[in-house]
A and B are shown apart, each in its own frame.
Chain A
Amino acid sequence: MKDSLKTIIFATVLGVVCAGLLAGANQMLKPFQEANAAAEKWRNIFDVLGVSYNPDANSHELLRLVQSPDNPDGKVSEIEAAGMTIYTYDHPEAGKLYAVEFSGPGLWGPIDGLLCLKGDLKTVFNIAFYKQEETPGLGGEIGNKPKDGKKTFTGKFQGKTIDGPGKAGIRVRKPDQASGANEVDGISGATLTCDKVEAMVNEISEIVLKNRDAILSAKPNSGAVRKEAGNE
């Protein structure tokens, strides 16, 4: 009896001390973690919209960039349409751009991405799959950003149209078989990943095309970007 009482007291004290320590650490570190998560989100959006920013900027500097209303590089605004948040940006060369988030199941885990369309809301300016767990070296290729003129899988989407012929979205063909304006070459050895990517791109394309007028006429929520960043 005495032994079990001692056991219970020890377990309780240990549990409370450990929990207290972790709760305290969590409280102290939370602002930093949230700033990191928010900066990560903006880094992905900046990348897909072609906003120039210092890639070595830390979370703090990046958020300041988003917050600053008179910084030309920070002029990304949000619009709410069709129940989605859409990020718009006046690109110095490509004109008005719209970026919208999408997600869907991949082969091994969920895939999150951003689809960026030009002002006509039909032509793909850029696409990114920023969160994916596909097979490294095969399906994982979808996570590579186009750089130094090297053609990556995502780079093949640029300039393609999501508005037919046929179903909305992009057809991912077998490697070296894409020909149409809405077709891209798939990745050799990653058929399943390509199928899943095509399905989620089609889904978001259909939503965008269906709500095209609503998106084009939506007013930006002024200050939304600043407000959100200001919360942290």
Chain B
Amino acid sequence: MSNAPVACGACQTGGICGGKGMATFKEGVWANNPISIQVLGICSALAVTSKLENSLVMGVALIFVCVGSNLFISLLRKSIPRKIRMIAEVAIIATFVILFDQILKAFYWPMSLQLGPYVGLIITNCIVMGRAEAFALQNPPLVSVVDGLANGLGYAAVLGAIGAFRELLGSGSIFGVTMLSETWYVKNQLMILAPGAFIVLGFLIALFNALNAKKDSNDAKPAGGH
């Protein structure tokens, strides 16, 4: 994902994103990944990742919400009164979250049952609010969409990685297809339970930090949140 111009091909200086598209994209997916670097939104990253499919649907949900809310908050950024900007952000975010939850209930019922309250809880996800506050309020719509997409993808990628590990080790399968035969593999119950998620996430963050430390040792790393 580092070299290919995935976000927008026209992103040279003076391109449609004002030259910021590619940098914004890399920032969200890798250099400032919402989960592994900023450690935001890990509540859902721990709760829904016992299966790969659930993790990816949750990732799609976050991409949808992040892109949608960033776009509209950016469009409204000059007319939102400062005093109520957070309430306005939450209202827009909540609209997108509920919309996604309703669509899931209508067309992907089994998944909706499995994800339970966690789709609705995206409203309180720090990543979405964080991108709205930190990016969409200061930037034009198009590059805000790129930012939302990048952060959503960054979240989805980490969730997918955790989900793949947990499902493989905990249930011996990937996407519900058995990979490790029960005849010689004893399923690791720990991976299905919450501690397994913490352990996998811990290893992933360590890996990200090790890789980033090599590339740039002076990078200041913001931390905290849930």
Cβ of A137 < 8 Å from any Cβ of B?
A: yes
Query: Which of A5-13, A166-174, A177-185 participates in binding chain B?
Result: A5-13
Asked if B84 and A18 make an inter-chain contact with CB atoms under 8 angstroms apart, the answer reads no
A227 to B73, CA, bound (A): 47
Query: Which of B14-22, B85-93, B207-215 participates in binding chain A?
Result: B85-93
A6 to B50, CA, bound (A): 47
* A7 CB contacts on chain B under 8 angstroms: 81, 83-84
Asked if B94 and A18 make an inter-chain contact with CB atoms under 8 angstroms apart, the answer reads yes
* B81 CB contacts on chain A under 8 angstroms: 3, 6-7, 10
Cβ of B185 < 8 Å from any Cβ of A?
A: no
B95: contacting residue among A11, A18, A137, CB under 8 A: A18
Interface string of A32-69 (1 = CB under 8 A from B): 11001001100000000000000000010000000000
* A40 CB contacts on chain B under 8 angstroms: 109, 113
Asked if B91 and A15 make an inter-chain contact with CB atoms under 8 angstroms apart, the answer reads yes
A6 to B88, CA, bound (A): 13
Asked if B80 and A10 make an inter-chain contact with CB atoms under 8 angstroms apart, the answer reads yes
Asked if B106 and A36 make an inter-chain contact with CB atoms under 8 angstroms apart, the answer reads yes
Interface contact tally, CB-CB below 8 A: 56
Asked if B109 and A11 make an inter-chain contact with CB atoms under 8 angstroms apart, the answer reads no
* A15 CB contacts on chain B under 8 angstroms: 91
A21: contacting residue among B80, B83, B95, B105, CB under 8 A: B95
Asked if A22 and B95 make an inter-chain contact with CB atoms under 8 angstroms apart, the answer reads yes
Cβ of B199 < 8 Å from any Cβ of A?
A: no
Cβ of B3 < 8 Å from any Cβ of A?
A: no
Cβ of A29 < 8 Å from any Cβ of B?
A: yes
A7 to B87, CA, bound (A): 11
Closest CB of chain A to B1's CB: distance in Å?
A: 33
Closest CB of chain A to B123's CB: distance in Å?
A: 12
Cβ of B157 < 8 Å from any Cβ of A?
A: no
The 10 closest A-B pairs by CB, nearest first: A32-B106, A36-B109, A29-B106, A7-B81, A18-B95, A33-B105, A137-B189, A33-B106, A29-B102, A18-B91
7 extra interface residue pairs, beta carbon distance < 8 Å, beyond A18-B92, A33-B102? A3-B83, A7-B81, A14-B88, A22-B102, A25-B102, A25-B103, A137-B189
Which residues of A pack against B, CB within 8 Å? 3, 6-7, 10-11, 14-15, 18, 21-22, 25-26, 29, 32-33, 36, 39-40, 59, 136-137
